[in-house]
Structure 1
Amino acid sequence: MTRTPLIALIDGPLAADTSGLASRMDLCELHPGAAESPAALHASHMAAAIRVNAPEAQFLGLSIFPGRLSTSLATLAEALRRAAESEAEIVHCSFGHGEARPLLAEAVAAVLAAGKLLVASAPARGAPVYPAGCDGVLSVQGDARCASGQWSLLDLPGARFGACPGAPGAPVRGASLAAAHFTGLLARASLQDGIEAMLQTPAFRGRERIGAGGPHAA
């Protein structure tokens, strides 16, 4: 990886003055008020959370949400294909689709075949979502044990990793933010001892369990 890791952020439209924004590609027709939309807010929080751990990270913004946090499967697949063809080392997806359609699986496979890491958020409860549920994807859910610079090895059916879900009451928190924190940790590791070394040293192992003393490993 380069000294300034490039991350393909597939999300809402990033503002032109977003720290680290190298370029932006809109893959959907944006709503006239997209700049103030939930999609733009979500994207800005994901970028900020990534740069908490990797302040030197640069972004290729791939806009798939026109205003609301909703898009078509075809648009998502196209974004993944563009990411696969880009110079980005890490592809980030803080969202999930409810079905493992062949179109999505093929696009995920293209990203992985290009030698990139694909990080995706996975909910702590409910049915699996995709791309987090696809083979080879680094699936992440929120883990309240983790500070922003920590991660956990969960090895759960729905998520392999856990990371900081954000503070209670924050505008955006949960699996989306956890995945962004984890992406930042990967980017930082790429500039230090390497990602393989990072993945050997989780702060926590096993499922988070809430008890009288607070969250701890099961």
Structure 2
Amino acid sequence: MPPAPLIALIDGPLPASTPGLSARADVCTLHPRAAESPAALHASHIAAAIRANAPAARLLGFSIFPGRLATSAATVADALHRAAESEAAIVHCSFGHASASPALAEGVAAVLHTGKLLVASAPARGTPVYPAACEGVLAVQGDARCSPGQWSLLNLPGARYGACPGNPGAVVRGASLAAAHFTGLLARACAQDGLESMLQTPAFTGRERIGAGGPQAA
């Protein structure tokens, strides 16, 4: 059986005690209290969601949020280039920029050129965000039909895939958590039956719609 893949998690600063954390590189200058910040909390929840489906997965953290959940496209691009040069097999981005700067687009291209998988969160409403909207990126949005171990083939303009968005009221939920669940499923597939087998068996096909009986396939 292949070893569990290394996942480059581009997010907030992960604590040293994070299960599966192999190393962390801070791409930005962190706030003095970054360890107690929303960025660190977000990163920890994303890491946990990834490992919920792939407990043996190893993480390589790239910190792009200094404390609050905001950063520059240049910082994202820097992290993408570092991830491209790393040994990670999957690069994960649970965030989105309103526009694709040339630098960000070049960072995405660098990752994809190495043959790595790049997963990014895509909101269900509103305008496209990047890197999810870049060609070749596996864009994921929340799908309430899915449990943490399921994914859906949506084939929507903004997101090809869907996954579990987490529970209502959770600290981190929505597309960010859905993308993390999907990355965990990809990582598990890499170490088991392979990606091709996984991507042929979605739990749901078609977009989610809300009816009297709850979420259904359209």
In which range does the TM-score fall when normalised by the shorter chain? over 0.9
- Matched to 1:146, the amino acid is C
Structure 2 residue matching 1:130: 3-state secondary structure: coil
TM-score by length of 1: 0.99
CA distance in 1, matches of 2:100, 2:49: 27
Please name the residue that 1:101 is paired with: 101
Q: Secondary structure at the match of 1:61?
A: strand
Alignment deviations for residues 100-153 of structure 1 (CA, whole Å, 9 cap, x no partner)? 221111110000001100000000000000000000000000000000000000
| Correspondence list, 1:37-76, <5 A | 37-76=37-76
Q: Letter of the 2:125 partner, please give it.
A: R
2:4 touches 2:188 (CA, 8 Å); kept in 1?
Answer: no
1:10 paired residue number:
10
d(CA) in 1 for partners of 2:108 and 2:171?
Answer: 29
d(CA) in 2 for partners of 1:49, 1:126: 25
Could you tell me which residue of structure 1 aligns to residue 185 of structure 2? 185
* Counterpart residue type for residue 31 of structure 1: H
Structure 2 unaligned residues grouped into runs of 5+: none
Inter-partner Cα distance in structure 2 for 1:40 and 1:202? 32
Q: For residue 167 of structure 1, what is the aligned residue in structure 2?
A: 167
Q: Please give the per-residue CA displacement for 1:64-112, whole angstroms capped at 9, x wherever unaligned.
A: 0000001111110000000000000000000000002211111100000
**In the TM superposition, what is the alpha-carbon distance from 1:197 to its structure 2 partner?**
1.1
Q: Which residue of 1 aligns with 2:206?
A: 206
Provide the rounded CA distance (Å) in 2 between the counterparts of 1:59 and 1:138.
Answer: 19
Distance (Å, rounded) in 1 between the aligned partners of 2:200 and 2:62:
31
SS in 2 for 1:91: strand
Secondary structure of 1:4 counterpart: coil
Q: Report the alpha carbon displacement of residue 5 of structure 1 after superposing the two structures with TM.
A: 1.0
CA distance in 2, matches of 1:206, 1:16: 40
State the AA in 1 paired with 2:39: A
Give the corresponding residue for 1:126.
126
Q: Distance in 2 between matches of 1:157 and 1:25?
A: 34
State the secondary structure of the residue aligned to 2:76. helix
Letter in 2 for 1:49: A
Does the 8 A contact of 2:146 with 2:163 survive in 1?
Answer: yes
Q: Is the 8 A contact 2:6 2:57 kept in 1?
A: yes
SS at match of 1:65: coil
| Structure 1 segments of 4+ aligned residues over 6 angstroms from their partners | none
Question: Structure 2 counterpart of 1:158, which letter?
Answer: G
Q: How many residues align?
A: 218
Give the C-alpha shift of residue 183 in structure 1.
0.1
Whole-Å Cα distance in 2 between the matches of residues 69 and 3 of structure 1?
32
Counterpart residue identity of residue 86, structure 2: S
Q: Structure 1 residue 2: deviation in Å?
A: 4.8
The alpha carbon displacement at 1:4 in A equals 2.2
Q: What TM-score does the superposition give when structure 2 sets the normalisation length?
A: 0.99
CA deviation profile, 1:22-80 (whole Å, cap 9, x unmatched):
00000111001100000000000000000000000000000000000011111100000
Between the aligned partners of 1:34 and 1:143, the Cα distance in structure 2 is 31
Query: Tell me, what secondary structure is at the counterpart of 1:140?
Result: strand
1:128 partner amino acid:
P
Aligned to 1:33: 33
- Give the % identical residues: 78
Q: Deviations over 1:163-183 (max 9, x none)?
A: 000011111100000000000
